[in-house]
Amino acid sequence: MKNFGTMFAKEIKEYLRTYKIFVVPGLFLLFGLTSPIITKLLPSLLGSLAEEINIILPEMTWIDSYGQFFKNLNQMGILAIILTTMGTIAEERNRSIAQLVLTKPVSRTSYVLSKYVANLLLITLSSILAFFAAWFYTDVLFTGTIFLNGLGATGVYIVYLAVILALIILASAMTKSAIAAGGLTVLGLVIFNLLPLFSKALSKYSPAVLTDYIYQVAGGTAVSSEVCGAIAFAAGTIIILLATASLLFSRKEL
């Protein structure tokens, strides 16, 4: 962990000088601002179509607004994170930047962890900012909005992103190609999504199940013990992924 603080500060300075400081927070904030509005307008937009096929659309609620918000984050938000972080280590190796950095008294473990923590900080702040925007407009447009449900769901979502980010860091440490790292990340996500099929325990606690718990927490129907178990499992998964990334990177030729 030698010079972790120095490496972390370097990462933050680089974010402030590049597009990344705007892309992820800006996209997340856009979803936070628009999701409640889209949810509110959806019955009106689909009203004429529903009349033609004789379907009665249910009235949208604050739960639907939260659901739309997290649906957008789970799709486009995660895609944006993969695209903006898949070259975190791979590109620096490819351009020999990592070699220059590691000639200084910096351990490879500190290098890997500083990348992870800096990215996680940006993602966490972006998620919280987006949630407050979504909560504000949801509270304005819908009655009975419960703030803590949305905040808790945001916390579970951040845990899920932390797992995905650890997977991206591992993939990026394995190759010098950002595209290959992105492909490995997608493959890893597919494997995560298949894990719940193999056992009852994995169907409750594997990282992929966190996406279900996000909506359950938002709607107030989640079982606390199951959510806590899934978060603990996710924490263990993050540790394993980062330890593997550090080990593989320490054995790679720069």
pLDDT digits (tens, 9 = 90+) for 128-175: 999 999 999 999 999 999 999 999 999 999 999 999 999 999 999 888
217: containing domain: 4-250
**Lowest mean pLDDT: which of 45-49, 105-109, 244-248?**
45-49
This prediction's pTM: 0.91
Q: Name the phi and psi angles at 223, rounded to 5.
A: -90, 115
pLDDT at 200: 86
Burial label for 34, CB within 10 Å (0-12, 13-18, 19+), is middle
Helices 108-141 & 147-174 angle (0-180, nearest 10): 150
CB neighbour list of residue 179: distance below 8 Å, 6 or more residues apart: 86
Q: Alpha carbon 229 to chain centroid distance?
A: 19
Per-residue tokens: 98: 């990592």
pLDDT at 53: 63
Which has the closest alpha carbon to 148: 196, 219, 224? Answer: 219
State yes or no: pLDDT of 96 exceeds 70: no
Domain count, the chain: 1
Per-residue tokens: 46: 């689909």
Q: Which residues of 138-173 are buried (b: 16+ CB within 10 A; e: fewer)?
A: bbebbeebbeebbebbbbbbbbbbbbbbbbbbbbbb
Distances from the Cα of 45 to the Cα of 57, 64, 153, angstroms: 11, 16, 28
pLDDT at 20: 76
Side-chain-side CA neighbours of 74 within 13 Å: the count stands at 21
pLDDT at 196: 87
Distances from the Cα of 203 to the Cα of 113, 195, 196, 206, 239, angstroms: 29, 7, 4, 6, 20
pLDDT at 16: 80
What pLDDT, in 10s, does the model give residues 17-76?
877 788 889 999 999 999 999 998 887 776 656 556 666 667 889 999 999 999 999 999
- Does residue 141 or residue 10 have the better pLDDT? 141
Q: What percent of the chain has pLDDT over 70?
A: 89
Mean pLDDT of the 95-107 span: 67
User: Could you tell me the pLDDT band of residue 88, with boundaries at 50, 70 and 90?
Assistant: confident
Average pLDDT for the chain: 87
CB neighbour list of residue 2: distance below 8 Å, 6 or more residues apart: 105, 106, 107, 110
User: Could you tell me the pLDDT band of residue 185, with boundaries at 50, 70 and 90?
Assistant: very high
pLDDT at 48: 59
pLDDT at 136: 96
State yes or no: pLDDT of 215 exceeds 70: yes
State yes or no: pLDDT of 252 exceeds 70: no
User: Could you tell me the pLDDT band of residue 202, with boundaries at 50, 70 and 90?
Assistant: confident
Residue that the structure tokens 């992924």 belong to: 241
| 137 vs 33: CA distance, rounded Å | 7
